[in-house]
C-alpha cells in the first residue's frame, strides 16, 4: 500500500504524550488542578505534525477521559473489545502512567498512577 492510498490514521497516547505531539504545553497536567488542555481534539491533516503521508490523509487522536486516563488506555479498551464483553475483565496499560480498567459492557471503572522508570509517586 502506497502513502497515497492511506486516507486516515489514528493516534493514541497518554495525555502528556498527546499534548507534546500536538505541540501543546502539558505543564498543567502536573500542577493543581491537574487538567490537560483538552481531552478531545478535532481531526487534522497528518502532514500538520510532520507525518509524511499524502495531503489528504486525516489524523484522528483517540480521546482521553481525564488528566491521567488518556487515549492510550481508551484505545486499548476499544481494541481488546472490553466495552462489548459480558465477561468481567481487568485491562492494564503500564507505561509512563499505569492505568487499570475493570468492567464489562455494562460498566467500567478506571484508575491511574505514576509508573515512570522508578515508579515515582508510590501510586
Place of cell 507534546: 20
Residue 85, phi then psi, degrees to nearest 5: -85, 145
Q: Is residue 122 part of a domain?
A: no
pTM of this prediction?
A: 0.81
pLDDT value for 120: 55
Least-confidence region, from 13-17, 19-23, 118-122: 118-122
Per the structure, the complete domain to which residue 82 belongs is given by 3-116
Does pLDDT of 117 surpass 70?
A: no
pLDDT in tens, 43-79: 999 999 999 999 999 999 999 988 888 999 999 999 9
Give the number of domains in the chain.
1
What is the spatial distance between Cα 82 and Cα 33, in angstroms, rounded to a whole number?
30
Q: Is residue 121 part of a domain?
A: no
**Cell numbers describing residue 17:** 504524550
| Alpha-carbon dihedral angle through residues 47, 48, 49, 51, given to the nearest 10 degrees | 0
Domain of 47, CATH number, reads 3.30.420.480
- Distances from the Cα of 113 to the Cαs of 46, 62, 92, 104, in angstroms? 31, 20, 12, 22
Q: Is residue 100 part of a domain?
A: yes
Amino acid at each position: 500500500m502506497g502513502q497515497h492510498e492511506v486516507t486516515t490514521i489514528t493516534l493514541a497516547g497518554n495525555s502528556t504524550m498527546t499534548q507534546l505531539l500536538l505541540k501543546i504545553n502539558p505543564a498543567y497536567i502536573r500542577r493543581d488542578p491537574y487538567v490537560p488542555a483538552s481531552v478531545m481534539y478535532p481531526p487534522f491533516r497528518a502532514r500538520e505534525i510532520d507525518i509524511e503521508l499524502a495531503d489528504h490523509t486525516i489524523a484522528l487522536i483517540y480521546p482521553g477521559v481525564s488528566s491521567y486516563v488518556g487515549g492510550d488506555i481508551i484505545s486499548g479498551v476499544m481494541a481488546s473489545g472490553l466495552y462489548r464483553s459480558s465477561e468481567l475483565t481487568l485491562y492494564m496499560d503500564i507505561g509512563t502512567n499505569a492505568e487499570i480498567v475493570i468492567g464489562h459492557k455494562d460498566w467500567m471503572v478506571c484508575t491511574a498512577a505514576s509508573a515512570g522508570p522508578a515508579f515515582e509517586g508510590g501510586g
